[in-house]
Chain A
Amino acid sequence: MSLVAEVETRRDGAVLQITLNRPEVFNAFNAALHAALAVALKEARDDEIRAVVITGAGRGFCAGQDLTEFSEVADDIRARLESTYHPNIRAIRTLEKPVIAAINGAAAGAGLSLACACDIRIASDAASFVPGFIGIGLVPDSGGSYFVHRLLGTARAFEWMTSNRKLSAAEGHLWGLVNEVVEAERLLERATEVATLYASLPTRGIGMTKRLFDHADTATLEEQLALEAQLQQAATQTADFREGVNAFLEKRPPRFSGA
C-alpha cells in the first residue's frame, strides 16, 4: 500500500478537483491509478458536487498506459480495457455534470483519450497532445477513436492519429481539440474559475444538455427532437427552472441550487 494516493481529490465548494498523481511517470496508467480514478469519479457523483476538474500532478497530464507495467496488460488486453479503462471513460460520459480537463502537460495515448472524454479542455501553453498508440503499433483505445474523431472530423483525426505527430496546445486550440489555452502558471486558477462558474449554473439542465449532445452525432433529427422533448419535460420540473423564471420576472440574478 503506497503512502501517497495515485489520485488525489479535493473539494472546493461544489467543485471536485481530481488530480492524477504519479508525476514521476507523467501520470501513466497502472492498475492502481485506474482504481483510484474510479473511486474519485464515484465521489464526483455526490449531489453536492456540481462540476469536476481533472488534472495531472507534475509536468505531464497523462502519458497513457505505463509501458513498464505493460505485461500486466498485454495478455488479454480486451478484458483489461473493459475492466480498467472503459469504466472510467463511461463514468465521465455518464456523469451528469460538466467535467473539465485542465491539461497541464503532455496528454498521450490513453491520456489523450481521457482528456478528450471530458466535456471541456483547458490547456496550459506548455501542454501537448500525442497520439501515442500507433507509435507502438496499437490503435486508439479508451474512446480515443471516438472522441478525437468527433472533435476533429475524419480527415484531420485520421491523418493526425496515424502520423503520431505531437500537437502543441496552440494547434490544439486552432483545431478545436482545446477550448482555451492559458499560461502554464494560470492553468489551475483558470480551470477552477471555469468550474466554479459551472457549479453555479443549473446542474440538471447541464447534465441533460450533455446527454443531448452525446446523442446528437448519431441521432436522426426525429430522434433528437423526441429526446429534447422528453428532457425538456423533465427540465421544467426542476427547481432551477422555477428559480430561473422567477428571477427573470423579479428582475434579479438567479440563485441556482443545482436541483
Chain B
Amino acid sequence: MTDDVVLVERDGAVAVVTLNRPKQLNALSDEVMEALVSRLVELDADNEIRCIVVAGNERAFAAGADIAMLAQTTPVEAATSARLARWDAIRKIGKPVVAAVSGYCLGGGCELAMVCDLIVASETAQFGQPEINLGVIPGAGGTQRLTRAVGKAVAMDVILSGRFLTAREALDAGLVARVVAKEAWFDEARRVARAIGEKSPVAVRLAKAAVNRAHEESLQLGVEYERQAFALALASEDAREGLAAFLEKRKPDFRGR
C-alpha cells in the first residue's frame, strides 16, 4: 500500500519504518507524525521486534515541518496541541530507534532524527535547523537536543545563521554516530539495528534509559539510576545467560527476560 505516508517493513528482529511523502521531501505533516507515532508504539509493544529503524529516502530523511500547516497554526495551538504529545511519545519508546539519514534532515526532520537514539548518516546527509529563516525557532526540541549534541558554539551557528552541517561535520561534532558512503546508508542502519537486536533486549532497554538520563539529567541522579538499572539487568535471565555463555566460551542465547 504505497499510498501510506509511513511504511513498515519487518526483517527478523528489526522493523524499518519509512516516511513516504517523497514529493514533499517527507515534510512532517500531522498525518505523517500521527502515522509514525502509531507505528512506533505498535512496534514497541511487539515482542518479535527488538530494534526499530526510522528512514526517509535517498534525497531526504525529512525536510522539516509542513510549512502550509505551520502557517495556519495559532500560538495557542502550538503550545498545547496533540503535536507536542507525539514528540513525547517518540521519546518514550522503550526499544532502540536508529535514524537512517540520507539527504536533507532539516528542521522538524532534524528534531526527529535527534529524538531517535542514534543517527547513521549517508555522506550526502545535511543537518540543519533553518526555522530562523521563517521567522520562528525550532519547536520540537531542536534548540535543546542540538546544543547537547554539538555544543553551544556550533548549535548557535546552525540555529541562528540557518546553515547546514555536512555529514562529516555532524560526525565530528558528535551529532551522528556513523557516516558511510551514499550507497551504504540504508544497509548500514540495518546492520547497526541487527547488531543491537542480537543483544539482550532487557539490557538494551535499560541501557537506553540510562544513557537518556545522562543526556537529560544531572550526573548524580544519572549515576543512581544507572546503579539501579544495572542491578535490574543483573537480575534478568539474559544476564545469567550472557555471563554463563562468556565463561563457557559460547555464544549467548538472549530470550528477552
Residues of chain A touching chain B, judged by Cβ–Cβ distance below 8 Å, are 208, 211, 226-227, 230-231, 233-234
Give the distance in Å from the alpha carbon of A208 to the alpha carbon of B183 in the complex. 10
The residues in B between 161 and 178 inclusive whose CB is less than 8 angstroms from any CB of A are: none
Residues of chain B touching chain A, judged by Cβ–Cβ distance below 8 Å, are 180-181, 183-184, 187-188
Query: Count of A-B contacts with CB under 8 A?
Result: 18
Cβ contacts under 8 Å, A226 to chain B: 180
Cβ contacts under 8 Å, A211 to chain B: 181
Give the distance in Å from the alpha carbon of A231 to the alpha carbon of B181 in the complex. 7
Q: Which DSSP category, helix, strand, loop or mixed, fits chain A's interface?
A: helix
17 contacts between A and B (CB under 8 A): A208-B183, A211-B181, A226-B180, A227-B181, A230-B180, A230-B181, A230-B183, A230-B184, A230-B188, A231-B181, A231-B184, A233-B183, A233-B184, A233-B187, A234-B181, A234-B183, A234-B184
Give the distance in Å from the alpha carbon of A13 to the alpha carbon of B54 in the complex. 42
Cβ contacts under 8 Å, B187 to chain A: 233
Give the distance in Å from the alpha carbon of A40 to the alpha carbon of B179 in the complex. 31
Select from chain A the residue with minimum beta-carbon distance to B188: A230
Give the distance in Å from the alpha carbon of A111 to the alpha carbon of B180 in the complex. 33
- The smallest C-beta distance from B163 to any residue of chain A, in angstroms, reads 13
Cβ contacts under 8 Å, A231 to chain B: 181, 183-184
Cβ contacts under 8 Å, B184 to chain A: 230-231, 233-234
- The smallest C-beta distance from A73 to any residue of chain B, in angstroms, reads 24
Interface centre among A230, A231, A233, by most B CB within 10 Å? A230
Cβ contacts under 8 Å, A234 to chain B: 181, 183-184
Interface centre among B180, B183, B184, B188, by most A CB within 10 Å? B183
Cβ contacts under 8 Å, B181 to chain A: 211, 227, 230-231, 234
Give the distance in Å from the alpha carbon of A226 to the alpha carbon of B178 in the complex. 12
Closest 8 CB pairs of A and B: A234-B183, A230-B184, A230-B181, A230-B180, A231-B181, A227-B181, A231-B183, A233-B184
